Every structure is written in C-alpha cells, then in structure tokens.
Amino acid sequence: MVGTHVYSKALAGNLTNLVKRYKEPLTAEPDHRVAKAVPLTLGLKNPTLEKFDDTFTRVAGGGAPAFPHATAHDYYVWGSCHQVIQDITIPFLGLNAADDPVVTSAPTMDSDNGLVVMGLTKGGGHLGWFQAGPGCVDRWTTKPVLEWLKLVIDDIVHEPKVYPSMYVDGDGFLREEGRPSLGCKEVPGGRIVDGNGGEEGMLQGL
C-alpha cells in the first residue's frame, strides 16, 4: 500500500532524523521518560509512522497528565478530531479525501454541531486535490474554501464571543484561564526547530 510503503515510512524516517538531530537536548535529563525513548527510537530499523509513534510520540508528544499513552492507538484515539467536533464553537469547514493514505478514518457529518461542515471527496490523496490550470498545477480546494469563507462572513450573524483571560503563571508560562495544562514561554537561548530540512526528491516536506 502507498500509505504504508511510501508516506508512512517517509514520515517516520523524517521524524527519526529530527530526533537524531536534537538528541542532545532530548536526553539532557537521562531519567526523564523522553530521554529513555530516544535510544529506542533511534534503534528502529526502517520504521513505519505507527511504529515511530508507538516508540516515541506516545511518550514524548506532550506533558502530563495526557502523556504518556499506553500505545500508539491510545494516542490516536486521544488526539483524534472525532473527540472534539461537538465542542467547536465557531464556523468550521473540514475537507478530507477518501483515498488519503495517512488519514484512514476521516470524520463525516455524524455530528449534530450546526457550526461544522465536513466534506469527503472520493479522491485527493494526502493534502493533495491537485488540478491542472493555465500553465500550472494548483489545488482545486482553494475555490470552495474561499466560497465558504465568503458565506461565513456575509451570511452568518455572529454573537459577540467572550474569550478567556490570559495570565502568566509563576514559572513564566503564558496560559489561558481554565486550561492550565497548555502554555508557552520564550526560553533564553532557544531557537526555531526546523522540521523540513534534509529531505530530498518526492519525500521533501513530508
């Protein structure tokens, strides 16, 4: 299958290369669960994406209490958009392709959330939907997305939304009221992580 033998292994290979590139900071605290997952991950031979996730992402993909997960499958269930569609509070358009080799279970219109529109096309691949245009190849999704945005702007009456307050906690993290597990802060001496370098040919950008 294309999903297993091309996309899945390409994505896993690129992610493994990222772990290798940032091995030093990832293993700075040897007793940490993330540090313990690094050598196991780098020891994988030609892994698929699911194998990488089962070895690394389910452990290192986030903080407590959500992580670690027992298996990659548990991580997928936890992180699936199926779990949150009913909680969306602003107009939302989702497009998926039935032949996507990576996303094998796309949500459909089985939600009673009236703010959500889900589209499932027969073809399109993984973030593809290419079509030939005058002198170029483009994604046909641009037109329906712009039409949907125009509809939302012109025809939907929005009630004023009250957004949660933001605060800075004792450790310097910027957080949102009611969501103490999410936060961010600038780390002195930090740098941008580039996850798109080093790939070549058809795998570039995966």
Is there a domain that residue 200 lies in? no
Is there a domain that residue 9 lies in? yes
Domain boundary, last residue among 79, 103, 125 = 79
65 prior amide bond cis, ω within 30: yes
Q: How does pLDDT run across 20-75, given as a tens digit for each residue?
A: 999 999 999 999 999 999 999 999 999 999 999 999 999 999 988 999 999 999 99
Cβ–Cβ < 8 Å for 104, 5: no
Is there a domain that residue 160 lies in? no
> 40 with 54, same domain?
yes
Is there a domain that residue 188 lies in? no
Length of the chain as a residue count: 206
> 104 with 38, same domain?
no
What percentage of the chain reaches a pLDDT higher than 70?
A: 86
The domain total for the chain is 2
Taking residues 176-199, what's their average pLDDT?
73
Residue 52, domain extent: 2-79
Is there a domain that residue 165 lies in? no
What percentage of the chain reaches a pLDDT higher than 90?
A: 40
Residues 6 or more apart from 173 whose CB is under 8 A from it? 183, 184, 185
Please report, as a single letter, which amino acid is at residue 1.
M
